[in-house]
Chains A and B, each alone.
Chain A
Amino acid sequence: DSGVTQTPKHLITATGQRVTLRCSPRSGDLSVYWYQQSLDQGLQFLIQYYNGEERAKGNILERFSAQQFPDLHSELNLSSLELGDSALYFCASSVGRGGTGGTDTQYFGPGTRLTVL
């Protein structure tokens, strides 16, 4: 158990809908990362938040957004869902913000499996 929790474990929804995925980082970690794992794209970095502020952005679609709250939990919002958004979404956390020289280990949650029908 990494100490990172994600809810829900599974989510089944229809195209065009909107969903929210939730992540609680390990105690003491200030950074939260979101990754998407799909069969065709593999594991892709989406976005990072550090202490409530967006820190880095990856291949995140405009239909997707995230935020980190004062209690450091994070939510990933996916809207106007398409079949291709079906994937496993992971949250990870680390202590620091990852600046140059940062060597933080990222610890991953169990993931949320999203199925879009």
Chain B
Amino acid sequence: AQSVAQPEDQVNVAEGNPLTVKCTYSVSGNPYLFWYVQYPNRGLQFLLKYITGDNLVKGSYGFEAEFNKSQTSFHLKKPSALVSDSALYFCAVRGIPGGYNKLIFGAGTRLAVHP
């Protein structure tokens, strides 16, 4: 079965420092991976996705993610964190069996960026 794991409930980082939010996945076949961000009282906003090709994927708001097949990971990164990046981040994998497009989400990681 397809699944994703976000091993950290919360990540704390100082403004201006690099940030990493971790995600590991388990899929049969090629993984289609996504990152979404949820701000308080808002819906999920799409950040980036990996389908195929370059292992480093660039997305919105300066975020990028590194796909690592051998480690089955898809970590979200940003070189310099902003206080406004504080939010809940979700990693998701597309549910391949049956060929359907449903997303399977991780539990989420709360990112807190301190001034």
Contacts and interface: CB of A to CB of B under 8 A. Distances in A.
Contacts of B43: 2, 4, 6, 90, 108-111
Contacts of B57: none
B49 A103 contact: yes
Interface residues of B, number: 25
A48 B46 contact: no
Q: How large is the interface on A (under 10, 10 to 19, 20 to 34, 35 or more residues)?
A: 20 to 34
B36 A48 contact: no
A103 B1 CA distance: 19
Contact of B99 (A94, A100, A104): A100
Contacts of B44: 90, 92, 108
B102 A45 contact: yes
A45 B99 contact: no
Contacts of A107: 46
Interface string B44-69: 11100101000000000000000000
Nearest to B42: A110
A56 interface: yes
A28 interface: no
A43 B88 CA distance: 12
A52 interface: no
Given A43-B90, A103-B51, A56 B101 contact: yes
18 contacts: A4-B43, A6-B43, A31-B101, A33-B103, A44-B105, A45-B103, A56-B98, A56-B101, A98-B94, A98-B99, A98-B101, A99-B99, A99-B100, A101-B99, A103-B51, A104-B101, A108-B43, A108-B46
